[in-house]
Structure 1
Amino acid sequence: MTMVPKGFVVRRDNDTRTYDGVLIGGSPRRALRLNPAAMHAWSELMSGPASSAGARTLARQLLETGMVHPVVQPISVSREVVTIVVPVRDRPQDLAACLAALRLYSSNVAIVVVDDASSDATGTAQIAGRYDADVVRLERNRGPAGARNAGLQAISTPIAAFVDSDCLVGARWLDTLVPHFDDPLVAAVAPRIVGSAAGTNDGTVGSFTREATPLDLGSEPANVTAQGRVSYVPSAVLLLRAVDFRFDESMRYGEDVDLVWRLRAAGWSVRYEPAVQVSHREPTTTTAWLRRRFDYGTSAAALDVRHPGMLSPAIFRPLPLAAATLALIARPIPAGVAAVLSFALYRRQLVARDLPTNDALRDSGRGVVQSVSGVTRWLQQFAPAAIPILMGFGWRQRGGRYAAVAAWMLPAYLDLRRRGTGVVNAPTYLAMQALDRAAYGAGVIAGARRHRRPSVILPRIVLPSRVRGWIAKVRR
């Protein structure tokens, strides 16, 4: 295993816990038992830079699991290190605002504008010239992936910084992101994308899309991996090392997810760094908003063709799923029994593996909550018509209606707690959130029909290893 560079500094993830030589955390969640040498290396990592070979090796392993994250010191980035690539088609006002921010906060770095067959080539060139940016003109429209590839061909620096023309960067964005490439295994780094600042005439749709932008992947750093908490990063703003990888030009949507997953499959690391925030202009009309969500959804099947088995709309374990389903149909007592059985089975598995059980109840409860959230989100995306039927069924159950309402509202509450609301009131936000998911789900269904990939619609149920063994014996 490749060690991290000498002097590398990491910090523990907020969700990583330690118990007498056992680390529990990461994404996907796992347990790692440390021998005395590894415990010494862990102490070294938590107290300062990694100097010894043991600490540098352990740091690499923990970075890959997501149990720790790198701590970088901002630097002053030069034009010999990075070139900014801005793909654009039309949108002159967005381009001007984007380049103005780039010049303000990246004054000493070269910028290449890739004009993807804009209708007004002269106007695009004039805006680029105003901000001392070079222009690469494409005579035919090649789409976002093709424009970025053309930008890669036009530069010679070891790092390319892609910035979409509807994005506005802030102070020291490059100075904070570029140091991640001190790790020789890091191929790409992305910041947090947030909705642009609220306007005065954008209405309810514009306010909602800013507050609930799907490009915002949260406030916690992450090692990007397909089955992890952060499974991809958008190419709206993406720093890419000069590696032998290009965007797939046959994909109009999802080309950023595809690139990230191919990098990961080749052994590279991809980092998500929310310490840097970049604003992204979101749709302000109902048609544009829902169309964008539908279009994003159509990429799921195409991704499944290229990366089979890596894309599931939801992943459940049987007992937490049973508890969630029973709660949603207002059967609190059976739901509680299923939740207790889930906890008992989980604790038994920990004991059998000689792992600590201190937080077994909390972890088991979190699994049930995530299952409730997963079921409601799946229904909102793929079967919204079933929701009023299930809610009506639950409402008729004497003594259980309040439990059903609480279960249905739980995911919405968690989402509101994570994001918060500003301009949009809570009921409107929740209704628009459901519509947002339905539009995305419709796109997934359309793509699944086109590519004949029902797996992107069907949830996956993970059976216990013993059950999988029984099934395998029956099949033989």
Structure 2
Amino acid sequence: MTSVDVAPHVSVIIAAYNAEETLDAQLDALERQTADFPFEVLVCDNGSTDGTAAVTHRRLERMPHLRLVDASATRGPGAARNAGARAARAPFLAFCDADDVVSDDWLALMHASLSEAPFVSGTSRRPELNSRPENPTYFDWSLYRMPFFPYLAGAGAGNMGIHKAVFDEVGGFDETLRTGEDLDLCWRVQLAGYPLIANSSAIVNVSNRAGLRATMRQGFGYGAGDKRLTYKFARVAEAYEARPPMPDVDEAAGGEASGSPAAGDADGGSQGMRDRIGALVARVLRKFRRRPRTSDFTEITLKIATALGFRFGRIDTSVPQVEPPEKLPG
């Protein structure tokens, strides 16, 4: 990185909450960036009670473009990222997460894409839940479409870039959403007339949650967030449904939802949910009749918790619904 007096081309925004154990690895990766332009890194502390701030302070001398942003006023990843965007000095914003690791050329690739398009996503890569440590396998995803809203593509906020002017125009992340805030932003930006472009070479290595309890909370949160999005974008969905029928979404090619391998398994009907849970239970029983592994519990827990979150999650009807534009994209 160059002198702090030089205006940055890109502001890297990291939402961080109790990220003491993982943040160093992400900051190490940002130190290794091959970018030949000035950039800044903003760690947006969302009210951490651990040593997240101390980790950031220890690195300030050797990372002069690193800044700690107090993002504790409102809890939630969307609020933390919005705080970073308000503090950003660059015209381009690049979002990544405190518990992931970007590739060494990630920022250079994101900058190149943002020089051509106002809204971009990279490719996220994580170990499969059932991957064996001695022979790991990985799942990659970039843009994806949700079965309950297949009209527009989505991307994860852990690997996303956007022009600050566009981000400000649409009002940033919805701070009332604790999950699905990335999908919400993607859809609103596209409805405002800015297509979402993928750069498949911009890689972020994503970590899995540790433990069944954390996985269950994550899955339920994904499902509940998806349910809230069905309400928020109901009028947009109605407008799309009024158009000529679209081809069926190829879920296998379309990727995953909110960074979760299970969010696409949820649907709105209670009978559909029961059918999916029954099928998932049957699958795991077949696994355990062979050679059960701890990761099998993790996979089934995530899928079932997501379906339950979609079924039983609450919808805040006081949240304004999105109105469809005169001309629908896609």
After TM superposition, the structure 1 = structure 2 runs for residues 212-251 of structure 1, keeping only pairs within 5 Å, are: 216-217=140-141, 227=150, 231-242=153-164, 243=166, 244-245=169-170, 246-251=172-177
Map 1:287-306 onto structure 2 (within 5 A).
287-306=213-232
TM-score, scaled relative to structure 1: 0.49
What's the secondary structure of 2:21's corresponding residue?
helix
Q: Is 2:273 the partner of 1:382?
A: yes
Change (3 A) 1:431 1:117: closer
Gap regions ≥5 residues in structure 1: 1-77, 316-362, 392-407, 413-424, 453-476
In the alignment, residue 174 of structure 1 is paired with which amino acid? L
Match of 2:307 among 441, 444, 450: 441
Find out whether 1:165 has 2:165 as its counterpart. no
| Residue matched to 2:19 | 91
**Correspondence list, 1:265-304, <5 A:** 265-304=191-230
Query: Deviation of residue 276 (structure 1)?
Result: 2.1
Q: How far did 1:431 drift?
A: 7.1
The offset of 1:255, in angstroms, is 0.8
Shift of 1:123: 1.2
Shift of 1:445: 0.8
Report if the CA contact (8 A) 1:111-1:134 is conserved. yes
Cα 1:140–1:431, aligned 2, differ >3 Å: closer, same or farther? closer
- Matched pairs, number: 273
CA distance in 2, matches of 1:89, 1:386: 32
Letter in 2 for 1:255: E
* TM-aligned CA distance change 1:311 to 1:283, over 3 Å: farther
Distance in 2, Cα, partners of 1:384 & 1:211: 29
Aligned runs of 1:196-215 on 2, under 5 Å? none
Q: Cα distance, 1:293 vs. partner?
A: 1.0
Q: CA deviation at 1:260?
A: 0.6
Q: Secondary structure at the match of 1:278?
A: strand
Q: Which residue of 1 aligns with 2:187?
A: 261
Query: 2 CA distance for matches of 1:167 and 1:240?
Result: 19
Opposite residue 263 of structure 1, the aligned amino acid is: V
* 1:131 aligned partner, one-letter code: M
2:36 is the counterpart of 1:103: no
CA distance in 1, matches of 2:292, 2:52: 44
How much has 1:249 moved relative to structure 2?
A: 0.8
- Contact 1:253–1:299 at 8 Å: present in 2 too? yes
1:4-403 equivalences in 2 (<5 Å): 80-105=8-33, 108-119=38-49, 120=51, 122-129=53-60, 130-132=62-64, 133-183=66-116, 186-195=117-126, 216-217=140-141, 227=150, 231-242=153-164, 243=166, 244-245=169-170, 246-308=172-234, 382-384=273-275, 387=278
Q: Report matched runs for 1:446-457 at 5 Å.
A: 446-447=312-313, 449-451=314-316
Q: Higher helix share goes to which structure?
A: 1
Cα distance in 2 between the residues matched to 1:436 and 1:139 = 29
Partner residue, 1:45: none
Q: 1:445 to 1:296 in 2, by over 3 A?
A: same
TM-score using structure 2 length: 0.68
Change (3 A) 1:258 1:450: closer
Deviation at 1:384, TM superposition (A): 4.7
Which residue identity is paired with 1:446?
A: F
The sequence identity of aligned pairs, in percent, is 21
Structure 2, unmatched stretches of 5+, are 1-5, 242-246, 255-263, 318-330
Query: 1:293·1:436 contact (CA, 8 Å) conserved in 2?
Result: yes
Higher RCO, 1 or 2 (CA under 8 Å, sep at least 6)? Answer: 2
Distance 2:193 2:124 in 1: 25
**CA 1:137 to 1:383, structure 2 compared with 1: closer, same or farther past 3 Å?**
same
Contact 1:117 1:138 in 2 (8 A): yes
Shift of 1:181: 2.8
SS at match of 1:250: coil
1:383 match: secondary structure: helix
Paired with 1:194 and 1:380, the residues of 2 have a C-alpha distance of 33
How far 1:284 sits from its partner (Å)? 2.1
Contact 2:45-2:69 within 8 A present in 1 as well: yes
Aligned-pair CA distance for 1:444: 0.4
Q: Distance in 1 between matches of 2:144 and 2:303?
A: 24
| 1:167, distance to aligned residue in structure 2 (A) | 1.3
Displacement, 1:277? Answer: 1.7
Asked whether the 8 Å contact 1:380–1:434 carries over to 2, the reply is: no
Q: CA 1:168/1:121 → structure 2, altered by over 3 Å: closer, same or farther? A: closer
Corresponding residue number in structure 2 for 1:26:
none
Measured in 2, the distance between the counterparts of 1:444 and 1:257 equals 15
CA RMSD of aligned residues (A): 4.3
In the TM superposition, residue 138 of structure 1 has moved relative to its aligned partner by 3.2
Superimposed CA distance per residue, residues 299-349 of structure 1 (whole angstroms, 9 cap, x where no aligned partner): 01211222116679xx9xxxxxxxxxxxxxxxxxxxxxxxxxxxxxxxxxx
Q: Equivalent residue for 1:418? A: none
Deviation string, structure 1 residues 246-291 (Cα, Å, up to 9, x no partner): 1111111111111111011111111222222210121121111122
Q: From the superposition, tell whether residues 286 and 384 of structure 1 become closer, same or farther in structure 2 (CA, over 3 Å).
A: farther
Secondary structure of the structure 2 residue equivalent to 1:272: strand
Task: Give distance in 1, aligned partners of 2:219 and 2:137.
Answer: 15
Note if contact 2:130-2:296 (Cα within 8 Å) is conserved in structure 1.
Answer: no
1: CA distance, partners of 2:32 / 2:106: 11
The residue type paired with residue 94 of structure 1 is T
